[in-house]
Structure 1
Amino acid sequence: MNYINDYITSFLGYLKDNRGYSETTITTYKIALKQMVEISEIYEENGLLIIDIKKYRMAIFKQNKKTISKKLSAIRSLSQYLFQIDIKNRVIGDDSIKTSKTLPKPIQKNHIDEAIKQANLIEKTILYMLFGLGLRISELSNVKLSDIGSSWINIVGKGDKTRELPLVQNVKDVIENYILVYKPKYYLLEVENKKFGVYHIRTTLKELFKKIGIKATPHQLRHSFASEMLNNGARITDVKELLGHSSLETTQIYTKLTDQTKLKNYLSSHPLCKVSHEHN
């Protein structure tokens, strides 16, 4: 199936031109996907592109877990891209393996404040929804006008689970202003009577933060929301519910991040550390 190679070439171009991936990352993806195509069984069945990577998994099983995880991530990203370009597909044998969790990288609050100053109304609405409510990008894309109440908003998350989030006044004001100006009909974020897709939201946010000279992703804003909440005394169980996490273990990653922030602040203000720094 030669066209799978055409899909991969298109995908790698998308990562470079639209997602801003580095040449190193793109090369890593290219190598992993080339190996996958050579070993895996790829065929069509009932209008579905099947990518069976079980043999590929067997070939790489002796590699370390992080390497395997990165290769599987490349394959999953390709699968998601294919869906974006209307190529229905199914990956067989991509079961996750457990790897040590790395800390998320939130955007610094001063960068977010600067972005807000630079934002137009659409950008500001996206920014407030992601940072002000801690939404996943897919959740924001699917917010309907009927989900928005006077004080609460209903969010449909992973597994179609619905959670109710409180609307703080400044987020509510931005939403009301946006609706007044753009008059969406069904979804909160619409363009030409169709909802903003994930790609559209991601690109809009990318361009906003580009104005202030930094790279940022929607998911980093979700990380920022969680970190700010915990740093300001919110209970971890409450943050878990706000984020829509099914497990407290997932939310606890952010406590490690806030501990690092507290340690950094402690070391920067500790008198002995100051003395040591001055002597250096």
Structure 2
Amino acid sequence: MVDSAFATDDFIRAQIGAWQRELGSVRRLAGNTLTAYGRDLDQFLQFLAGHAGGTVTLAVLKDLRGADIRAFMAQRRNESLGSRSLARVLSALKSFFRFLEREGVLATEALNVIRTPKQPKSLPKALTVSEARRTISTTEEMEERPWVAARDMAVLSLCYGAGLRIAEALALTRADLESTTLRVTGKGGKVRMVPLIEAVRKAIELYVELCPFKSWPEEPLFRGVKGGVLSPRLIQLRVAQLRGALGLPPSATPHALRHSFATHLLGRGGDLRAIQELLGHASLSTTQIYTAVDTERLLESYRKAHPRG
């Protein structure tokens, strides 16, 4: 949430509150995105208050120039903010000022002259089929408590066998589990149905059988050792242990298993649209990056195997 009590007047604070309510209830942005957008706008208003030499009022916003925004972006870059984060900052500011324009509060051209920072081109890091399988199966050897080992295997199986984000896996309840499908709540509260393959189903069933804590249908399925909701950090630490034991690269993370799910499906002839639905991507362009990953893997195999590679 934005905390600009000393940077803005009451009217601007009221507009910020209305904007945030719209983002949450109408656009249904994820909680982390809402927090980031609020923080970005707060930092801009604090900067603008110092830049303008006083409280940010509607008159100050009406006088906003492209140079003011460039100065703020330059300051954030000097604070070592990367291009991806800078792009999010600009997106937050544009969202707020578009809201003000829709509400008839003000219209400004200042943001239209600011270019979105160029994003570094990076491909998702997928594991090989063998690495993904060993990552999951070796979990049992790293943990003496059978139910905890079964829990971690089930979570990682969901990341690789169903393509879930770690937060999606940890948010699952007993009510989300059906005989052949999973009901997954993704970013922005969007719900999708994902096939529950036998290996993943058996991993979950083993965990449920061994878990010492009873869970009600609407409660999170995965528990910590004291019975509370399982923290993503514990799964990340488990995978870090597995990286060391298996000699995997630093890119081997729980999310890399989701990347591997998509890459391996595509490599075996999976339909890109179907993979988009399984991953819960809003745009096909987000999923298309896996075609580049698959092409790169093919080229790497060619370079290694071809006599003249």
Query: Within the alignment, does 1:211 sit opposite 2:245 as a pair?
Result: yes
Tell me what 2:256 maps to.
220
* Structure richer in strand, relative to its length: 1
Tell me the matched-pair count.
216
Q: Which structure's CA Rg is the greater one? A: 2
Corresponding position of 1:58: 70
**1:191-202 correspondence to structure 2 within 5 Å:** 191=224, 192-202=226-236
Please say if residues 152 and 167 of structure 1, whose CA atoms lie closer than 8 Å, have aligned partners that are also in contact.
yes
Report what 1:99 is aligned to.
119
Cα separation, 2, equivalents of 1:165 and 1:150: 11
The equivalences for 1:179-258 within 5 A come to 179-182=208-211, 183-185=213-215, 186-191=219-224, 192-214=226-248, 215=250, 216-258=252-294
Shift of 1:201: 2.6
2:104 matched to which residue of 1? none
- Kindly indicate whether residue 178 of structure 2 is the aligned counterpart of residue 152 of structure 1: no
From 165, 184, 198, give the equivalent of 1:136: 165
Q: Counterpart in 2 of 1:73?
A: 85
Cα shift readout 1:12-38 (whole Å, capped 9, x = no counterpart): xxxxxxxxxxxxxxxxxxxxxxxxxxx
Identity %: 30
Unpaired stretches in structure 1, ≥5 consecutive residues: 1-40, 77-91
Maintained 8 Å contact 1:184/1:190 = no
Consecutive unaligned residues of structure 2, counting only runs of 5 or more, are 8-12, 14-34, 49-68, 96-115, 141-149
Is 1:119 equivalent to 2:152 in the alignment? no
Aligned-pair CA distance for 1:213: 2.9
Maintained 8 Å contact 1:131/1:225? yes
Query: Take 1:94 and 1:70, find their aligned partners in 2: how far apart are those partners?
Result: 19
Query: Which residue pairs with 2:190 in the alignment?
Result: 161
Question: How far, CA to CA, are the matches of 1:111 and 1:42 in structure 2?
Answer: 51
* TM-score between the two structures when normalised by the length of structure 1: 0.66
- Distance of 2:243 and 2:6 partners within structure 1: 41
Q: Does the 8 A contact of 1:69 with 1:97 survive in 2? A: no
Q: Aligned-pair distance for 1:149? A: 0.6
Q: Show structure 1 runs of 4+ deviating over 6 A.
A: 41-45
